[in-house]
């Protein structure tokens, strides 16, 4: 149990286009999902916390108009990279915290590799 999926696993797009990444909890409900970004050989940096039915909370330095987050249901959060540029190329990973779980429990998705040409 406790599986989190991400779609797509890999995407290549042209500069200026928008890309949507989905994060789904497959066998549990998640009131909170987290979005991380990882540069090559670097650590995961938290971008934002997504709460079902409310606005996402962004970390300092993350542009909320650039990275749109929608947590419309208890099993799905989406991250849309708007007007993507080459510097947005990165590995994006989400995690989900079960609705009935302890605060400490998070399950990670397999990640999405974004390449902007």
Partner 1 sequence: KQEVTQIPAALSVPEGENLVLNCSFTDSAIYNLQWFRQDPGKGLTSLLLIQSSQREQTSGRLNASLDKSSGRSTLYIAASQPGDSATYLCAVLPSNQGGKLIFGQGTELSVKP
Listed in sequence order, the residues at least 6 apart from 41 whose beta carbon sits closer than 8 Å to its beta carbon are none
Shortest Å, Cβ 79 to partner 1: 15
Give the SS3 label for residue 17: coil
CB nearer to partner 1: give 24 or 97: 97
Which backbone phi and psi does 88 adopt, to 5 degrees? -85, -10
Taking alpha carbons only, the member of 27, 5, 28 closest to residue 94 is 5
Contacts to partner 1 by CB under 8 A: 6, 32, 34, 41-46, 49, 91, 93, 95, 97, 103-104, 106, 108-111, 113
* Residue matched to tokens 């419309």: 72
* Residue matched to tokens 């709460």: 51
CB nearer to partner 1: give 81 or 96: 96
CB nearer to partner 1: give 31 or 80: 31
Shortest Å, Cβ 35 to partner 1: 11
Shortest Å, Cβ 16 to partner 1: 26
């Amino acid at each position: 149990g406790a599986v989190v999926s991400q779609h797509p696993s890999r995407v290549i797009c042209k500069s200026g286009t928008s890309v949507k990444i989905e994060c789904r909890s497959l066998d549990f409900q998640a009131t909170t999902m987290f979005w991380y970004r990882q540069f090559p050989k670097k650590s995961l940096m938290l971008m934002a916390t997504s709460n079902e039915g409310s606005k996402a909370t962004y970390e300092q330095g993350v542009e909320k108009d650039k990275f749109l987050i929608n947590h419309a249901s208890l099993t799905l959060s989406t991250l849309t990279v708007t007007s993507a540029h080459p510097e947005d190329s990165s590995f994006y990973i989400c995690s989900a915290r079960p609705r009935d779980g302890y605060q400490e429990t998070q399950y990670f998705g397999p990640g999405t590799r974004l390449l902007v040409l």
